[in-house]
Structure 1
Amino acid sequence: MDGGEEAELARLLRTALQGDEKAYAEFLRRAASLVRGFARKRLAQGSIDPEDVVQETLLAIHLKRHTWQSDLPVGPWLYAIARFKMIDAFRKVGRRMEVVLDDAFDPPAPEPEEAASERDIGRVLDSLAPGQRAVVSSISVDGRSIGETAEALGMTEGAVRVALHRGLAVIAKKFGRG
C-alpha cells in the first residue's frame, strides 16, 4: 500500500467514525480488497478460503473500529487484524483432523507378548477372591460397565464398586503400588 492509498484510507475511516456511512462503505470496500490480496498470498490453495478470512477481518474491523488511533496509519492496524483472523482460521482447521480409514482395515495379528500378557492377567485374577475376580474380570478385562456387571452378577452397583476397588487394591499391592 502506497502513501496516497494509506492517507485516503485514513481519511475515509476518520470520516466514517464521525458518522459518514458512504465513507464507511468505501473504507470497507477498499479494506476488503487489501485483505483479500493479503489472504490469497498467504493461504495455500484449498486449505482455507480467503473469503472467510476477509469476512472475519471485516467483522473484527467493524467491532473494533473505535480502537484505531487516528494519528496512526491505518494499514498496520488493518493488517494486524487480518493476520490474527488468519491465525484463528488456521487454528480452526487444525482442530479438525479428518482421517479416512479403508473399510478393509485388518488389525495386526497379536504378537507373542500379548499371549504372555493374557497369562499374566489370568495369574493376577486367580489371586483374587472369587467375587472380586468376577467383578474385576467383567469390568477391566471384558469392558462391561458397573451397571452391566451388577446385573450380570446379581449385585448392587455399590457392591460392584466396592469389590472392584478392593480387587484393584489387591492387584496394586501385589505389584508393589499400594
Structure 2
Amino acid sequence: MREREADWSDWMASAIAGDAGAYRRLLSALAPFVRSVVRNRAASFGLASADVEDVVQETLLAIHLKRGTWDDSQPVGPWVAAIARNKLIDALRRKGRRVHVPVEDFAEVLPAETGDDNGLRPDEAEKLISVLKGRQHEVVKAISVDGADIGETAKKLSMSEGAVRVALHRGLAALSQAYRSFRE
C-alpha cells in the first residue's frame, strides 16, 4: 500500500511537471482503484454497472482537471477517493432515489378520511399566508396554493431555482411560526 502511494505520488508530481508517460501510468493505476471505490459504494445504492462506469469516467476527468489542486504533501489515494465519492453523490442526485408504487395497491390499508382533519379553512389559509411579504409570499402561494413546481415558479418570478427553494424554505418556516401563534 505504501509503495503504491509512493508510486502514485511520484507519477502525479511528474505528470503535473509535464511527463506524459508518468501521467499515463498514473491514470492506468488509478482507474481500477477508482472503479473499486465507486463499485463498493454504489452497490449499497443499487446503481447499475453502466452508471458505475460513468462515475469512474467522470472521476478520471475530474482528476485530470483538478490535478493541480493536489497537495504533494498528502497521499494521492484519499484525494482520489474523495473525488470519486463526490462524483458518486452527484450521480445519485441526478438519478434520484424515488420508488414509485401505485396507490391502488394500498387503497384497502390507507386510513379513511375523517371529518375533523384539524386543517385550515380557506379564509384561515389566506390570512396565514398574508403574513409573508414579497418574494416569500409569491413563492409560497405559487407552490403551495397554486400547485406550481419550482421550475415554473422560477420562470414566472424571474428567479433561479435555488433562490425559489430558499424563499420557499424560509417562507414555510415563517408560516410554521405564524401557524403556532395563530392556533394559540
TM-score class normalised by the smaller sequence: 0.5 to 0.7
**Alpha-carbon offset, residue 98 of structure 1:** 6.7
Equivalent residue, structure 2, for 1:81: 83
Within a 5 Å distance, the mapping from 1:10-89 to structure 2 comes to 10-44=9-43, 46-48=46-48, 49-89=51-91
Query: Deviation digits for residues 108-160 of structure 1, max 9, x if unmatched?
Result: xxx9x7xxxxxxxxxxxxxxxxxxxxxxxxxxxxxxxxxxxxxxxxxxxxxxx
* SS of corresponding position for 1:90: helix
TM-score by length of 1: 0.53
Query: Deviation digits for residues 5-40 of structure 1, max 9, x if unmatched?
Result: 000000011111111111111111111110101111
Query: Deviation digits for residues 47-78 of structure 1, max 9, x if unmatched?
Result: 24221111111111111000001122111111
Unaligned runs of at least 5 residues, structure 1: 114-178
Q: Which protein has the larger Cα radius of gyration, Structure 1 or Structure 2?
A: 1
Of 84, 90, 93, the match for 1:91: 93
Kindly provide the amino acid, as one letter, of the partner of residue 53 in structure 1.
V
Which stretches of structure 1, 4 residues or more, deviate above 3 A after TM superposition?
A: 96-102
TM-score by length of 2: 0.51
Unaligned runs of at least 5 residues, structure 2: 108-112, 116-184
**Alpha-carbon offset, residue 85 of structure 1:** 0.8
Query: Deviation digits for residues 65-99 of structure 1, max 9, x if unmatched?
Result: 000011221111111111111111111111x7474
Identity %: 50
May I ask how many residue pairs the two structures share in their alignment? 118
* SS of corresponding position for 1:43: helix
